Structure 1
Amino acid sequence: MLQGLYRLLIELTNGRWTSVVLKKFARSRVSRFVVPSFARIYQINLEEMEKGLSGYPTLHDLFVRTLKKEARKIDPQTDSVVSPVDAVLEDVGKIKETSDIMVKGKTYSIGEMLGDPDILSKYLNGTYMILYLSPSHYHRIHSPVNGTVTKQWELGSKSFPVNKWGLKYGRATLSKNYRVITEVKTNYGHAAIVKVGAMFVNSIETTHKGSELEKGGEMAYFSFGSTVVLLFEKGIFQMDQTLHTPQELKVGERLGILVK
Structure 2
Amino acid sequence: MRRTLYRFLIELTNGRITSYLLRKFAQSRLSAMIIPSYARVFQIQHGEMEKELKDYRTLHELFTRKLKESVRPVDPDPLVISSPVDGVFEAYGPIEESTDFVVKGKRYSLTDMLGSEAAASVYRGGTYIVLYLSPSHYHRIHSPISGVVLRRFELGRKSYPVNRLGLAYGREPLSKNYRVVTEVASEGKQVAIVKVGAMFVNSIELLHRNDALQKGEEMAYFTFGSTVVLLFERNMVEVNPALQRGQQIRVGQRLAVQKRL
For normalisation by structure 1, the TM-score amounts to 0.98
Deviation at 1:175, TM superposition (A): 0.4
Any idea what SS the aligned residue of 2:81 has? strand
Alignment partners' CA distance in 2, 1:78 and 1:12 = 38
1:189 matched residue in structure 2: 189
Q: Which runs of 5+ in 1 are unaligned?
A: none
Q: Deviations over 1:3-62 (max 9, x none)?
A: 121111111111221111101000000000001110010000000000001111000000
Write out aligned runs for 1:201-212 (5 A): 201-212=201-212
Write out aligned runs for 1:112-151 (5 A): 112-151=112-151
Alignment partners' CA distance in 2, 1:217 and 1:200 = 26
Alignment partners' CA distance in 2, 1:110 and 1:245 = 21
Any idea what SS the aligned residue of 1:84 has? coil
- The amino acid of 2:224's aligned partner reads F
Q: Deviations over 1:49-106 (max 9, x none)?
A: 0000111100000000000000101001111000000010110000011111111111
- The amino acid of 1:164's aligned partner reads R
2:251 matched residue in structure 1: 251
Any idea what SS the aligned residue of 2:46 has? coil
2:226 matched residue in structure 1: 226
Alignment partners' CA distance in 2, 1:86 and 1:254 = 12
Any idea what SS the aligned residue of 2:252 has? coil
2:75 matched residue in structure 1: 75
Kindly indicate whether the alpha-carbon contact (under 8 Å) linking 2:15 and 2:158 is maintained by their aligned counterparts in 1. no
Are 1:49 and 2:49 matched, yes or no?
A: yes
Alignment partners' CA distance in 2, 1:15 and 1:235 = 40
Give 4+ residue runs of structure 1 displaced > 3 Å after superposition: none
Deviation at 1:117, TM superposition (A): 2.1
Write out aligned runs for 1:57-96 (5 A): 57-96=57-96
Q: Which runs of 5+ in 2 are unaligned?
A: none
Alignment partners' CA distance in 2, 1:82 and 1:111 = 26
Deviation at 1:223, TM superposition (A): 0.4
CA RMSD of aligned residues (A): 0.8
Alignment partners' CA distance in 1, 2:236 and 2:72 = 26
1:17 matched residue in structure 2: 17
- The amino acid of 2:74's aligned partner reads I
Deviation at 1:258, TM superposition (A): 0.7
Deviation at 1:200, TM superposition (A): 1.6
Are 1:239 and 2:242 matched, yes or no?
A: no
Alignment partners' CA distance in 1, 2:239 and 2:8 = 35
Alignment partners' CA distance in 1, 2:201 and 2:34 = 21
Alignment partners' CA distance in 2, 1:223 and 1:95 = 29
Any idea what SS the aligned residue of 1:4 has? helix
Alignment partners' CA distance in 1, 2:77 and 2:143 = 15
Alignment partners' CA distance in 2, 1:205 and 1:162 = 18
Any idea what SS the aligned residue of 1:256 has? strand
Deviation at 1:116, TM superposition (A): 2.5
Alignment partners' CA distance in 2, 1:151 and 1:117 = 16
Q: Deviations over 1:127-151 (max 9, x none)?
A: 0000000010000000000001001
Alignment partners' CA distance in 1, 2:245 and 2:258 = 21
Alignment partners' CA distance in 2, 1:200 and 1:219 = 20
Alignment partners' CA distance in 1, 2:202 and 2:99 = 25
2:36 matched residue in structure 1: 36
2:8 matched residue in structure 1: 8
Deviation at 1:119, TM superposition (A): 2.1
